[in-house]
Chains A and B, each alone.
Chain A
């Protein structure tokens, strides 16, 4: 590593918040490490203290209840979601997004919560969580607050989190459990590339809901459509929601074009 730091592994939340307070702006929370350690190596962050949250038993939970839905603790990995039979049965879109994220060995470490806290526009877990109307439970020394995922992202790599706060868990309500859903993502190669553009679609009863990654400063939700709407109507709704840019990976026009292709493809499959 380019910078030297101390490693702390608190065993409960009070210890964690004390460590965060003591470390101040030079402390970083470590969950899977698949973003943090890449950024440390690149010199983008230079923490003096790294606080591992994986030894806190309360953050390991992955619970499902028919009435209240799914609870994803901060230390739950992306592969745990993808391989859990209860998630597979009830939240197919979460599984599709999870399986599209990086490579198998990376998913063994990367956490679902870490993916949204990193708040990349191309965060793969975000489109699914947006479609399912997930709630983000944010905890600090002062207590907990719950923020809908739609209000969680505020910009490129920016969220509503303030210093001293931890995303303790994500709640995925049971409202859309069992709904049919899927995710299509464009990238140059499978396994080790940032997404160029991604579209998630969830269908339940008369409703079609879509969310798009890598096509705006944040992962973005599209206004609800009807199951009877044509692919053209759905694609138009998606295009109205997104604000893609030209960058090294793709032009704005190509992203817009592929969103339309994916909407059509998903409508046939979902």
Chain B
């Protein structure tokens, strides 16, 4: 069936099987492979995208359910090769190691920041509770979000502290 989606401000019209999920539709039909498949069952969050303003697990949305939807994926973060603010802070804080969880993690954080521009540490933890990271231990990711929202400052030893 014909499915029309707007992904990162660009319209795509593709023919896909109605039983295909949004994750595979984005990767195979739209050609955006930034969004990853981890568990495929709504547990790991690697496939998190923002659909009509809300974060969702793309593995648990059928492509036809997304017909007409406005979607944001990790590919919409960097503009003209320039990292987004959150991506930049991820890099600075070593919030990426293998990188597999990063696309989903970034979208969960993007969703958090549109709801809560200055989240507390607790709110950050809650926002990424559906995103598995097996490398960083999460602390660097939390620090990156605190930093991007202006909540980290350098003490007199040059170490970062929570404001």
A37 is an interface residue with CB less than 8 A from chain B: yes
Docked-complex contact B1 and A7, CB < 8 angstroms: yes
Query: What size tier do the contact residues of chain B reach?
Result: 20 to 34
B130 is an interface residue with CB less than 8 A from chain A: yes
Question: Which residue of chain B has the shortest Cβ distance to A189 in the bound complex?
Answer: B129
A103's partner among B1, B19, B45, B59 (CB-CB below 8 A) is B45
Which residue numbers of B lie inside 8 Å of A, CB to CB?
Answer: 1, 17-21, 40-45, 48, 54-57, 59-62, 64-65, 108, 111, 126-127, 129-132
> Quick one: given A5-B19, A7-B1, A190-B129, are A105 and B40 in contact (CB under 8 Å)?
no
Docked-complex contact A41 and B40, CB < 8 angstroms: yes
Docked-complex contact A30 and B62, CB < 8 angstroms: yes
Contacts of B45 in A (CB 8 A): 103, 105, 192
Docked-complex contact B44 and A105, CB < 8 angstroms: no
A241 is an interface residue with CB less than 8 A from chain B: no
Interface residues of A in 190-226 (CB under 8 A from B): 190-192
Closest Cβ of chain A: how far from B71's Cβ, in Å? Answer: 13
Docked-complex contact B61 and A109, CB < 8 angstroms: yes
B132's partner among A30, A41, A192 (CB-CB below 8 A) is A192
A106's partner among B19, B40, B42, B111 (CB-CB below 8 A) is B42
Docked-complex contact A191 and B65, CB < 8 angstroms: no
Docked-complex contact A104 and B18, CB < 8 angstroms: no
Which residue numbers of A lie inside 8 Å of B, CB to CB?
Answer: 1, 3-7, 9, 30, 32-34, 37-38, 40-42, 50, 52, 54, 79, 102-106, 108-109, 190-192
Complex CA distance for A33 and B18, rounded to whole angstroms: 14
Complex CA distance for A42 and B59, rounded to whole angstroms: 13
Question: Which residue of chain B has the shortest Cβ distance to A109 in the bound complex?
Answer: B56
A102's partner among B42, B55, B62, B111 (CB-CB below 8 A) is B42
Contacts of A5 in B (CB 8 A): 18-19
Closest Cβ of chain A: how far from B29's Cβ, in Å? Answer: 14
Complex CA distance for A54 and B129, rounded to whole angstroms: 26
Residue in B42, B129, B130 whose Cβ sees the most chain A Cβ within 10 Å: B42
Some 9 contacts from A to B, beta carbons below 8 A apart, are: A1-B20, A7-B18, A7-B64, A33-B60, A40-B19, A41-B40, A105-B54, A109-B56, A192-B132
Complex CA distance for A104 and B126, rounded to whole angstroms: 8
Question: Which residue of chain B has the shortest Cβ distance to A99 in the bound complex?
Answer: B126
Closest Cβ of chain A: how far from B161's Cβ, in Å? Answer: 26
Contacts of A7 in B (CB 8 A): 1, 18-19, 62, 64-65
> Quick one: given A7-B1, A7-B64, are A105 and B19 in contact (CB under 8 Å)?
no
Contacts of A33 in B (CB 8 A): 60-62, 65
- Supply 19 further A-B pairs (C-beta < 8 A) apart from A1-B19, A104-B55: A1-B20, A1-B21, A4-B17, A6-B18, A7-B65, A33-B65, A37-B21, A38-B42, A40-B19, A41-B41, A42-B41, A50-B19, A52-B64, A106-B60, A109-B56, A109-B60, A190-B129, A192-B129, A192-B132
Docked-complex contact B62 and A50, CB < 8 angstroms: yes
Docked-complex contact B65 and A52, CB < 8 angstroms: yes
Question: Which residue of chain A has the shortest Cβ distance to B131 in the bound complex?
Answer: A103
Complex CA distance for A190 and B131, rounded to whole angstroms: 11
Docked-complex contact B57 and A106, CB < 8 angstroms: yes
Contacts of B126 in A (CB 8 A): 104
Question: Which residue of chain A has the shortest Cβ distance to B17 in the bound complex?
Answer: A4
Closest Cβ of chain B: how far from A37's Cβ, in Å? Answer: 5
Closest Cβ of chain A: how far from B163's Cβ, in Å? Answer: 25
